[in-house]
A and B are shown apart, each in its own frame.
Chain A
Amino acid sequence: MSETKSMNQQGFLNLFLTAGCDSFPHALRKSFLVAVWFAFLTFPIMVIKVNTIENTVVWHWHKIGYLAVAVFFGSFIWRWLLARKELKKDENREETRIESLLTRVQSHPVLKYLALGVLAAAAAVFPQVFNLYQTNIMISCLLYIVLGLGLNIVVGLAGLLDLGFVAFYAVGAYAYALCNMHWGLNFWFMLPVGAVLGALLGILLGFPVLRLRGDYLAIVTLGFGEIIRLVLENWGEVTMGPSGISSIDRPALFGVKLGVIGSTHYMYYIMIGLVILTIFSVNRLQNSRIGRAWLALREDEIACQAMGIDKMKTKLMAFSLGATWAGMAGVVFAAKTTFINPASFTFWESAIILSIVVIGGMGSIRGVIAGAVILILVPEYLRDFAQFRMLLFGAIMVLVMVFRPQGLISAKRKVYEYKVNTAGAANE
């Protein structure tokens, strides 16, 4: 027992020292070259410090030493990680530890309800325990979960790369803002209206792009998203232009207007409700006849049509259902911030939502939630690091794409129940 353990340890050390190389000296040489190269690349920003007022140049030579040493050892770790990934490629279909834990919890009835109960309790007390700032961050995280799950229908399930998703979000937000400003329509009336408007716009966009796929579709939807933003910016008489619309009503609780704290808490619970509704609907949709048609469309368009699936109808359904959630999220967003302008609906938003879906795991509800939590909460909590915030954000994205290209939590197919005919099984 202890012998095999020491053998394993030796194997591990061996792999760690020579991963991706012929021998240990080769590995040393490689790491050394990498360190020199990094030192050279970062020389201008790490070493030279020019003081323009006193016209002097200060040389920080020690910094390059630290960097070289760090890169030297870092490159060993990097190669080891890559080699480990290659080794595990054969077991790629196997679940990771987190995934199998989730599956175990889900398939065990008591554990499942226990986990759900804990989650529900945590969600319920969150605004009471944490302060207003934390609650606000959580609201926007929940908002992105809804948006991510909506886009997941279009990108993850139906495989239609949509880069203009923010357009539907903007339509929902502006619909509520304008109707509230002109006619004083309230939040609860506009929530379903925003959903319907999103769905209609989804169909409207869907029609012209039905024949497009992949990159072409991405470009057209990108253009569509920009068109909506430009219209909002330039059609001043209707949309108030770049100055936006302010003092939008927050949702009232049974006609009672709440204060800032009260309404933030109220907003939080509304979002929790909306997230639950979204998860519930998307989960049921993806394991239904329509959900399977979306998957088939993503996998092979020609075979899908040859099997009797109406490509046009299926695509339009994906676009409109995805846009429905964006429309609702838009209404909530307008009510939450009480001020909107076109700057909130730039391409950057679409890119973030798409990153949530891709990094989390295409077609996986749990993955999208994990993606939203990481991509929205991490930058918020990294505010202390100020200038390194976006650098870390980018590094996380690169690492996920290198080591888990299928996303953090990949989608799992449902296992169906069926009756085995013992008479028919013996026919071979």
Chain B
Amino acid sequence: MNNPVLNVNAMSKDFGGIRALDEVDLKVADREIVALIGPNGAGKTTFFNCITGIYTPTSGDVLIDPSAEGRTVRINGRKPNHVTELGMARTFQNIRLFPSMTALENVMIGTHCRTKASIWGAISRNPATRREEQAVIQRSYDLLELVGLENYVNELASNIPYGKQRRLEIARALATDPFLLLLDEPAAGMNPHETKELERLILKIREKFNISIMLIEHDMKMVMSMSDRIYVLDYGRMIADGTPEEIAANPDVIKAYLGEDHDD
């Protein structure tokens, strides 16, 4: 097996006296779909925030290896924009689009760290800048088409229906050209039909871009049917990991979700 693209080693995060994450280990292999599940407040989003640089982990290592060839980089404490530049892009649980920009512009923002037009380039509009700009526009449009938003290209992000906003966020994250896509509850608030479509989209993205995907999700049907491996987080500790079948049969996981029986 190749080197994992993301390797989290005994990572902890304290907020004052509260240990939100306790020595968490997690690995994502190349082209793998990994799901992170757990009850509300288990620390899943904190985990995402720690590996994407929004929080700095209190201890432990976050190692990435974009090409899966053994050249690892430690990214603890790097700034979020630097992490994105290195190739980890995310979406947010509570959608964070840029509401007064159009769908196309939202995706174009994603290409920011891969382009380099300067102030002078912007004012003089020299051929290099024009070429780059045109390439950015075309690529952004293609991504919108991929996620099925070709009818909303020039619509303001705030005017797009909720389910499509989630897709727009995915397109924006893809525009940063990631090796690992982190999706924070992509199916939240979607009906079963939309969830099914989203599942197809995520699988298509993996095929098309050859990237790894990690997602936090509460929709068990979706998680069970599409993930290669599942990690379960409870009270900041990783209580189980394995294939969907193993997780479904794991007594610890069932206990975490359904609660302990105190009657006996």
User: CB within 8 Å of B: which residues of A?
Assistant: 93, 280-281, 284-285, 288-293, 295-296, 299-300, 302-311, 317, 321, 413, 415-421, 424-425, 427-428
> Which residues of the other chain, B, contact A416 by a CB distance below 8 angstroms?
104, 137, 154
Contact B117 A288 (CB under 8 A): yes
Contact A425 B145 (CB under 8 A): yes
Interface membership of B98, Cβ < 8 A? yes
Contact B119 A307 (CB under 8 A): no
> Which residues of the other chain, B, contact A303 by a CB distance below 8 angstroms?
92, 96-98
> Looking across the interface, which residue of chain B has its beta carbon closest to that of A299?
B98
Given contacts A421-B142, A424-B145, contact A306 B52 (CB under 8 A): yes
- In the bound assembly, the distance between CA atoms of A305 and B121 in angstroms comes to 23
> Looking across the interface, which residue of chain A has its beta carbon closest to that of B101?
A295
> Which residues of the other chain, A, contact B136 by a CB distance below 8 angstroms?
289
CB proximity of A281 to chain B, nearest CB, Å: 5
- In the bound assembly, the distance between CA atoms of A93 and B159 in angstroms comes to 10
Chain B, residues 126-141, CB within 8 Å of chain A (1/0): the string is: 0001001100111011
Contact A293 B156 (CB under 8 A): no
User: CB within 8 Å of A: which residues of B?
Assistant: 52, 54, 79-81, 84-85, 89-90, 92, 96-102, 104-105, 108-110, 112-115, 117-119, 121-123, 125, 129, 132-133, 136-138, 140-142, 145-146, 148, 150, 153-154, 156, 159, 172-173, 176
Given contacts A293-B109, A419-B141, contact A307 B84 (CB under 8 A): yes
- In the bound assembly, the distance between CA atoms of A215 and B41 in angstroms comes to 32
Given contacts A299-B98, A306-B52, contact A288 B138 (CB under 8 A): no
Contact A309 B81 (CB under 8 A): yes
Interface centre among B129, B142, B145 (most CB of A within 10 A): B145
Interface centre among B109, B133, B156 (most CB of A within 10 A): B109
CB proximity of A358 to chain B, nearest CB, Å: 16
Given contacts A288-B117, A299-B99, A310-B81, contact A424 B54 (CB under 8 A): no
Contact B119 A308 (CB under 8 A): no
- In the bound assembly, the distance between CA atoms of A415 and B104 in angstroms comes to 9
Contact A300 B138 (CB under 8 A): no
Quick one: which of B102, B110, B123, B137 contacts A307, CB cutoff 8 A?
B110
> Which residues of the other chain, B, contact A304 by a CB distance below 8 angstroms?
98, 109
- In the bound assembly, the distance between CA atoms of A304 and B99 in angstroms comes to 12
Interface centre among A290, A302, A306, A427 (most CB of B within 10 A): A306
Contact A290 B154 (CB under 8 A): no
- In the bound assembly, the distance between CA atoms of A424 and B204 in angstroms comes to 13
Interface centre among B96, B112, B115 (most CB of A within 10 A): B112
Contact A307 B145 (CB under 8 A): no
Given contacts A305-B79, A306-B52, A308-B112, contact A289 B146 (CB under 8 A): no
CB proximity of A86 to chain B, nearest CB, Å: 20
**8 closest pairs, A vs B, by CB?**
A308-B113, A288-B122, A308-B84, A303-B96, A299-B98, A418-B141, A305-B80, A289-B117
- In the bound assembly, the distance between CA atoms of A419 and B134 in angstroms comes to 10
> Which residues of the other chain, B, contact A425 by a CB distance below 8 angstroms?
145, 150
CB proximity of B199 to chain A, nearest CB, Å: 14
Contact B113 A309 (CB under 8 A): yes
CB proximity of A286 to chain B, nearest CB, Å: 9
> Looking across the interface, which residue of chain A has its beta carbon closest to that of B113?
A308
Quick one: which of A289, A296, A421, A428 contacts B122, CB cutoff 8 A?
A289
Contact A413 B146 (CB under 8 A): no
> Which residues of the other chain, B, contact A305 by a CB distance below 8 angstroms?
54, 79-81, 84
A-B contact pairs, 6 of them (CB 8 A): A295-B98, A306-B92, A309-B113, A413-B102, A419-B138, A427-B148
> Which residues of the other chain, B, contact A309 by a CB distance below 8 angstroms?
81, 109, 112-113
Quick one: which of A288, A292, A420, A427 contacts B109, CB cutoff 8 A?
A292
> Which residues of the other chain, A, contact B115 by a CB distance below 8 angstroms?
289
Contact B84 A306 (CB under 8 A): yes
> Which residues of the other chain, A, contact B141 by a CB distance below 8 angstroms?
418-420
Contact B138 A308 (CB under 8 A): no
CB proximity of B184 to chain A, nearest CB, Å: 11
> Which residues of the other chain, A, contact B129 by a CB distance below 8 angstroms?
288
Quick one: which of B80, B84, B112 contacts A289, CB cutoff 8 A?
B112
Contact A307 B79 (CB under 8 A): no
Contact A285 B112 (CB under 8 A): no
Contact A424 B122 (CB under 8 A): no
> Which residues of the other chain, A, contact B113 by a CB distance below 8 angstroms?
307-309
Given contacts A290-B119, A418-B138, contact A306 B54 (CB under 8 A): yes
Contact B81 A308 (CB under 8 A): yes
CB proximity of B133 to chain A, nearest CB, Å: 7
> Looking across the interface, which residue of chain B has its beta carbon closest to that of A303?
B96
- In the bound assembly, the distance between CA atoms of A317 and B112 in angstroms comes to 15
Interface centre among B89, B96, B108, B140 (most CB of A within 10 A): B96
> Which residues of the other chain, B, contact A421 by a CB distance below 8 angstroms?
142, 145
CB proximity of B175 to chain A, nearest CB, Å: 8
> Which residues of the other chain, B, contact A292 by a CB distance below 8 angstroms?
101, 105, 108-109, 112
Quick one: which of A93, A291, A311, A415 contacts B81, CB cutoff 8 A?
A311
Given contacts A302-B96, A419-B141, contact A307 B105 (CB under 8 A): no
Contact A284 B122 (CB under 8 A): yes
- In the bound assembly, the distance between CA atoms of A420 and B212 in angstroms comes to 28
- In the bound assembly, the distance between CA atoms of A300 and B98 in angstroms comes to 6
Contact A413 B156 (CB under 8 A): yes
> Looking across the interface, which residue of chain A has its beta carbon closest to that of B114?
A308
Interface centre among A291, A308, A321, A418 (most CB of B within 10 A): A308
- In the bound assembly, the distance between CA atoms of A295 and B104 in angstroms comes to 14
Known A292-B105, A296-B109; further 8 A-B contacts with Cβ < 8 A:
A285-B119, A289-B117, A299-B98, A303-B92, A308-B114, A418-B104, A419-B138, A420-B150
> Which residues of the other chain, B, contact A308 by a CB distance below 8 angstroms?
81, 84-85, 89, 110, 112-114, 176
- In the bound assembly, the distance between CA atoms of A306 and B112 in angstroms comes to 11
> Which residues of the other chain, B, contact A284 by a CB distance below 8 angstroms?
122-123, 125
Given contacts A284-B123, A290-B119, contact A424 B146 (CB under 8 A): yes
- In the bound assembly, the distance between CA atoms of A99 and B159 in angstroms comes to 20
Contact B112 A299 (CB under 8 A): no
- In the bound assembly, the distance between CA atoms of A306 and B101 in angstroms comes to 17
- In the bound assembly, the distance between CA atoms of A281 and B229 in angstroms comes to 52
CB proximity of A300 to chain B, nearest CB, Å: 5
